[in-house]
Amino acid sequence: MPHPTTTATHPARPTRLTVINALLLPLADPAGPSSTTHPDWYLGWMTVGDDGLISGIGPGSPPPATCPPSCDDPTSGAEHTMHGEVLDARGAMVAPGFVSAHSHIYTSGLRGVAHSQTLYPWVRANGEALLDASADDMYWYTLHGSLDFVNNGITSAYNFTHSRVSWLYEPETGYNHPARIHGTDHVTRQFDGTADSGIRVVNSFRLDDEAFTETETLDTFAEMVAASADRTPAAQHLGESIMGAVQWSSHRRSAELEAQVMRNLGVSNQAHFVETAEGIEFQQSKFEWYEEAGALGARFLFGHFVHPTDTMIERAVAAGCAMVWQPTSNGRLGSGIADVARFRDAGMRIGMGLDDQSCTDVSDPFQNMRIGMYTMRAKHSDAGIMTPREVLRMHTLGSAEVLGVEDRVGSLEVGKHADFLLVDPRHPDTGPVWDVFATYVMACGLRNLQQVYIGGELVSTQGVATTSLADDASAELHARIVHRARAAGLAIDYVPDDDVIAARTAPTRASARPVAASSEATAALSEAP
């Protein structure tokens, strides 16, 4: 049994939830924000205040919860036992919700698209499928994808929104060209989709500087930063970021504008970079664009970083950059193997992401951890090069750190959001728990994920979201994707509920909550063939 820990409590608020008899995996570092010195794991308890924050955690049984005098009679000074709802974990594992530090949540309806294609033809296939999507389509696609994440235990995400410019990649030139330009609500409705799902989110969006004047580009980006903060509930709002697009850009000015926005608005930047072996020398040459623009630093993240040169690694580490690893996506697209063990040993901060649902197909963080860890072991012929605990930390606290939100999410510590998973290795049974972290990472999966909590509220049970929006999100996704595909002449092999979809097409729904009116008309799904 691990060494004992001190109990940390924060009795300033009434208790919403008390978790007992839990095999806790806090993933908290000894120098974390709470006053508790946590062992790696222990059988214990956790309390959640009515503000959704962890108010206490420790081994054994919880102490009597107390409520300040102000919550009853402000003159009495009396203490009140306030356990709130009690969740008896009955020995199941309780761990932090996963953090996906690199996600494109709107792709939830595109699984299996371009299934045997590499990055660039796959990107074009996705672009063609979404070419004429409306702003309200994007809302439902994003809501469905966000609930899919939540059902799979991902409670926080860095989300690259689909650009208001529908870019199509031209392999002959190696560049994108703008095929459609939508209103800004094409982006803001995606903010609404994540907001309505309950997931915590960093909203990321592209400057699209090659489609607009510089003044339009900068003004619109600032408008989107404000809209993201305004349309996302404060507790869910983890910030804004640039979707770095130099990989697709034709001139250095794109890097300069991104660096300028980082400085002026204080936002981070995550750039897809050297992701694929296609045209690799040209991709690598663009590293200097970012470096010379002054973009590199602690707020700059390299997404993928599969094919960097030795010099790029050295300079990125020296500048304090982080990288985000998508092992499932990199394998599915045949992009290559990011040498994360090398980056780690060089001192680079590392997070993990689920990328698109259209290139991981199952947004499964357990699978993502295993593919990543096993790939590193195979690449280096060394089974000890990455441990289960290390890869779990990368997909929780490590991902929160690279996003700069480790004070709020990523581990179970007093004062952080009570975002946690109940995972039971006995259902279905995986046998004796020889090693807690090995069982959690290597033997458990979505089949063992019993419940998901965000802010101490139950949001998913055995893969089914508790929100009343879940059924609508599924029906709307199917109806809208099928309609758009057929209208564009794209083939979908099998539509199992075609009659149900046809009945669904009128009337259509917009958002689940009042938002600014869309500048694009809702798709006339009743006209679907």
Note if the bond before 68 is cis, omega within 30 degrees.
no
Distance CA(478)–CA(155), nearest Å, equals: 24
Query: Which helix (DSSP H) or strand (DSSP E) does residue 421 occupy?
Result: strand 420-423
| pLDDT in the model for residue 13 | 78
- Which positions ≥6 away from 241 have C-beta within 8 Å? 158, 202, 203, 204, 267, 268, 269, 270
Q: Can you say whether the dihedral through the CA atoms of 71, 72, 77, 80 is positive or negative?
A: negative
CB 372 within 8 A of CB 383: no
Phi, psi of 112 (to 5 degrees): 90, -5
CB 241 within 8 A of CB 268: yes
Amino acid at 448: N
CB 334 within 8 A of CB 357: no
Rg of the chain's alpha carbons, rounded to an integer?
Answer: 23
The domains of the chain, with CATH numbers, are 8-95+416-465 (2.30.40.10), 96-403 (3.20.20.140)
| pLDDT in the model for residue 507 | 47
Q: Give the pairing of strands 154-160 and 98-104.
A: parallel
Distance CA(52)–CA(50), nearest Å, equals: 5
Q: Can you say whether the dihedral through the CA atoms of 485, 486, 487, 489 is positive or negative?
A: positive
pLDDT digits (tens, 9 = 90+) for 486-508: 999 999 999 987 777 766 654 45
CB 395 within 8 A of CB 368: yes
The residue ranges of the chain whose pLDDT is under 50 are 1-7, 9, 35, 66-81, 506-507, 514-529
DSSP letters, 99-146, are EEEEEEGGGGG-TTTTTT--HHHHHHHHHHHTTT--HHHHHHHHHHHH
Distance CA(397)–CA(390), nearest Å, equals: 10
Q: Can you say whether the dihedral through the CA atoms of 263, 323, 365, 363 is positive or negative?
A: positive
Q: Give the pairing of strands 175-181 and 200-205.
A: unpaired
Instruction: Give the HSE-up count for residue 140: Cα atoms under 13 Å, Cβ half-sphere.
Output: 22
| pLDDT in the model for residue 347 | 98
CB 450 within 8 A of CB 95: no
Note if the bond before 507 is cis, omega within 30 degrees.
yes
Helix segments in 109-248, DSSP class H? 119-129, 135-151, 185-197, 214-231
Distance CA(433)–CA(84), nearest Å, equals: 31
Q: Among 88, 39, 24, 93, which Cα is nearest to 439's? A: 93
Q: Which tokens is 43 given?
A: 């059988």
| pLDDT in the model for residue 4 | 31
pLDDT digits (tens, 9 = 90+) for 409-461: 999 999 999 999 999 999 999 999 999 999 999 999 999 999 999 999 999 99
Q: What is the 3-state secondary structure of 379-400?
A: HHCCCCCCCHHHHHHHHHHHHH
DSSP letters, 20-55, are EEEEE-----TTSSSS----S-EEEEEEEETTSBEE
Distance CA(460)–CA(51), nearest Å, equals: 20
Phi, psi of 253 (to 5 degrees): -60, -30
Q: Which tokens is 317 given?
A: 């580490």
| pLDDT in the model for residue 200 | 99
Sheet holding 200-205, edge to edge: 349-352, 322-325, 300-304, 268-273, 237-244, 200-205, 154-160, 98-104, 355-356
| pLDDT in the model for residue 502 | 67
Q: Which tokens is 282 given?
A: 């040209």
Supply the pTM of this predicted model: 0.92
Distance CA(318)–CA(323), nearest Å, equals: 13
Distance CA(10)–CA(82), nearest Å, equals: 13
- Which positions ≥6 away from 244 have C-beta within 8 Å? 258, 269, 270, 271, 272, 273, 290, 295, 300, 303
Distance CA(267)–CA(464), nearest Å, equals: 34
Q: Give the pairing of strands 54-59 and 8-9.
A: antiparallel
